[in-house]
Structure 1
Amino acid sequence: MSTRHNALNLRLSAFMAVLLCALCITTMPAVALADQPDTDIVCGTAESERQDAAADRPDISALHAIVVGKDGTVYYERAADEQVKIASITKVMTAIVALDNAPLDTTITVDHAAATVGQSSADLKEGDTMTLETALRALLIPSGNDAGMAIARSVGAIIDPSSDDPYGVFIDAMNKKAQELGMDSKFTNPHGLDFDGWEGDMHSSARDVATMFSYVMRNDDFRALTSSTDNVAHVTGADGTKREITMVERNKILGTNGNIGGKTGGTYEALQCFVGAFSRENGGEIYTVVLGCDGDEVRFADTLTLANWYYDHIVDYPAVTSNMTAADGQLLVARATDSDWTDKTIDVTAEDPTQTAQIFSLAGEVKQKLDLKTLSGDIKRGDDAGTLTLVQDGHTVATVKLVCAQDQAAPNPLEWCLVQLDRLFRLVTGQPQQAESSLVATAPSPLEINGTK
């Protein structure tokens, strides 16, 4: 009996242990995995409303993200306005303030505070001097905190030569620039450290980072710096000795998949972050931001997922689509009123029937706006007939010049008299005085267009 009782207790204990493990597993915090939540926003509308197919939605794990076009169009966002830590992406604002206030040949000096700041370093030594251009490369390529401190103190002294706190002057300039750009961000240092004595009320958001980066990418000097693959810095030591520093590029996707630059960031609180610029033939230039990624590989994988998602949805949309042909054999766009007659219209076609417009297929349906000229007199094939405007999401994506596709002579005197009699009859009987214009061309859904890039 005792043996059976002990066996039963053992089986019960084993069962309870398994149950406890199962409960622990189900209550553990979920590991960050790629996801497609309905709170994601595409072209200004949440997926809870859009309900795009899974294949048309970015599958990323970043806690915060955004994709912005060079013109400011926001294509995708995830919790993009939440203020969080951005770590070394802070250095983009450091570069902005430096470039706004000093020429590239300005001498930057590394003081004790800069040389001993710690963490990510460009291996600068106390007393080193270099040009601002070299210091910015040391700031951006290996994400040198030492370079950030040196730039802040040296350029701060230029911004306000009378101040005995050039470092504070530079930080104030960073925050003033953020306000000028309409950002809600706050900066408390030039490098982004948020631990080991650097804790503070520093914060930014994915949208703010995109705003900051799109602004600085208008600066040709910064574009050259962030896209450069030259990782050797030339500095002069305190004793006058010149030396070379070989720096490790933190942007692991630079020069691939259309990436033309970017800035990494990462701390225990910020997790892994990246802002990147991409340029491809079809789709132009965009900026992507991912914040709060679980690892270095994840931030670059998420970045490429967002870039590819955008470019994969760029389509060459035909300016004219029609199931009918005009008198000249071209696609019939419209029939325009010939005001000299009561019953005649003129076939209208596109001057360039092969015209296309690159559009983002998820930005909504394309609408047509027809603006025909008043036609009268002797009409010749090729005469200006007006325009057809294509509009998507409130933006004009193409303007098509229209031309007459046929000749039509004006009425001779006898015909003119007959036309007037006809008009009188139409007036009495309540009929139109002339044939009405009509739009024949159609606007297919962008998602139905083949040849997505």
Structure 2
Amino acid sequence: MRKKKVYKSIACLVSLLLLTVLLQSPVQAQAEETPNINAAAAILIDGDTGKILYEKNADKMLGIASMTKMMTEYLLLEAIKEKKVSWDTEYRVSDRVYKISQERNFSNVPLRLGEKYKIRELYEAMAIYSADAASIAIAETIAGSEENFVKLMNQKAKELGLQCKFVNATGLSNKDLKGMYPKNSGPNDENLMTARSTAKLAYRLIKDYPEVLKTASIPKKKFRPGTADEINMENWNWMLPGLVFAYKGMDGLKTGTTDFAGYCFAGTAKRGNVRLISVVMNAKDPSGKGSYNARFTETKKLLDYGFNEFSRQKIYPAKLQLKGYETIKVEKGKDKEVTIYTNKPFYDLVKKGEPKKYTASFTPDRSKIDKNGALKAPVQKGETVGYLTFHSETNNPLGYLSKEEEKKASIPVVTAKAVDKANWFILSLRSIGDLFDGMFSTVKSWF
């Protein structure tokens, strides 16, 4: 009897242990999926839609150091697109730019006083080697002075909806510029931005000017090869192919380091049909010390999380119709209504293995649909009448970078065919028919 009691006690104990393991395992597995990023702030987004996959202190204003140069790049590429400058535009080195270019404590290529340099070579020095004096040279070329260029930076930031403050074109701490900082800022001023806004700047830079990646992805290049000023430029993004932290798919974008900002990196990589953009600010190693290695180690964690845990999947096919919005009225058309549906499939970056449950909402285009919910004839085939926005019920997304990105992620709803305007005869018959319908309805109500 004693043995039986002992066996029963052991069996109960084992059962309790198994139950405890079964209950705890899913929680532990879930906790392991989300990375622990050792940085003051971090964010990971879908580079195609701006959907946020991870964030930490994403709205905290912090130093950005040379990640600033993404805005300098944006304004340069915009100026080239608008033909205000060209890649062959020549810049003559000013006294201030010359002095800054000789500071070996900065990231620089040496520039000769009074020498002419083409914008393309200055841009490559900035994008690959984070050359500070070259960045100021570009600012002077576009705006006449760095002071004026900083005004453009802050104007563009407002236009893009960024939460930030720019005080110079390089990201250097003003106090390190030995009095050579822009005069519309103070000696202790710093460039500041949130991780969310840094990611959005990177997102817009890649979206609006994808050619930036052709230069940002160059691991090594010589500045002014074959001249006395030749210098080897190794990209500070050590996650590029062939460099020490090489990461599959990495092709940009911008590092940044100062005593104030710490070690920062806005990175982007593409694998298959998925592009990710990550930002780490003031990255630290496990001991709490900032380092070059730390920013790439923490970036790898973020990107691994994105590529390993998420995949782009087709959620709904094209020609999807939302219940209650299968057709839309056409005022004064040959047909009284027209079929509507989505004009393309809906894809989303979702966690692998999770059920895909979405709710959809229809937003009509009020510029085309009147207050009675009707289109006015004539109507073109494929005419956009509104948008379907999909909301995940299972992935608990963190949302998008902004309402603008969320709207862009929605799918246009279009007309299935053209509807011509009805002629006066058809409209007259239709009016008579409507009159009799009204009379019959009234008579019917009497009985």
Shorter-chain TM-score bucket reads 0.5 to 0.7
Shift of 1:278: 0.9
Q: Distance in 2 between matches of 1:103 and 1:235?
A: 22
Q: In the alignment, is the contact (CA less than 8 A) between 1:366 and 1:391 conserved in 2?
A: no
Structure with greater helix share of residues: 2
Q: In the alignment, is the contact (CA less than 8 A) between 2:312 and 2:350 conserved in 1?
A: no
Q: How does 1:412-451 map to 2 (within 5 A)?
A: none
Q: Distance in 2 between matches of 1:243 and 1:299?
A: 31
- Map of 1:247 onto structure 2: 233
What's the secondary structure of 1:360's corresponding residue?
strand
Identity, % of aligned positions? 27
Shift of 1:264: 0.8
Q: Distance in 1 between matches of 2:150 and 2:390?
A: 47
Q: Distance in 2 between matches of 1:213 and 1:300?
A: 17
* Aligned residue among 26, 49, 53 for 1:75: 53
* Aligned residue among 166, 169, 176 for 1:187: 166
User: TM-score, normalized by length of structure 1?
Assistant: 0.57
- Map of 1:305 onto structure 2: 301
Shift of 1:152: 1.2
CA displacement 1:1-37 (0-9 Å, x = unmatched): xxxxxxxxxxxxxxxxxxxxxxxxxxxxxxxxxxxxx
* Aligned residue among 138, 141, 147 for 1:168: 147
Shift of 1:220: 3.3
Q: Distance in 1 between matches of 2:127 and 2:236?
A: 8
- Map of 2:258 onto structure 1: 267
Change (3 A) 1:357 1:397: farther
1:120 and 2:110 correspond: no
- Map of 2:205 onto structure 1: 216
- Map of 2:65 onto structure 1: 87
Shift of 1:243: 4.9
Structure 2 stretches lacking a partner, 5+ long: 1-26, 80-84, 179-186, 242-246, 284-289, 317-344, 361-388, 398-405, 412-447
- Map of 1:142 onto structure 2: 129
Change (3 A) 1:360 1:146: same
Change (3 A) 1:285 1:243: same
Change (3 A) 1:176 1:368: closer
What's the secondary structure of 2:136's corresponding residue?
helix
Q: Distance in 1 between matches of 2:312 and 2:151?
A: 46
Q: In the alignment, is the contact (CA less than 8 A) between 1:319 and 1:390 conserved in 2?
A: no
User: TM-score, normalized by length of structure 2?
Assistant: 0.57
- Map of 1:285 onto structure 2: 275
- Rg larger in 1 or in 2? 1
CA displacement 1:224-269 (0-9 Å, x = unmatched): 2112235122389xxxx78533212111001332111111111111
Q: Distance in 2 between matches of 1:274 and 1:168?
A: 26
Letter in 2 for 1:131: K
* Aligned residue among 86, 89, 96 for 2:74: 96
Q: In the alignment, is the contact (CA less than 8 A) between 2:58 and 2:195 conserved in 1?
A: yes
Letter in 2 for 1:135: L
Q: Distance in 2 between matches of 1:363 and 1:110?
A: 57
What's the secondary structure of 2:78's corresponding residue?
helix
Letter in 1 for 2:154: N
Residue correspondences, number: 284
Change (3 A) 1:229 1:176: same
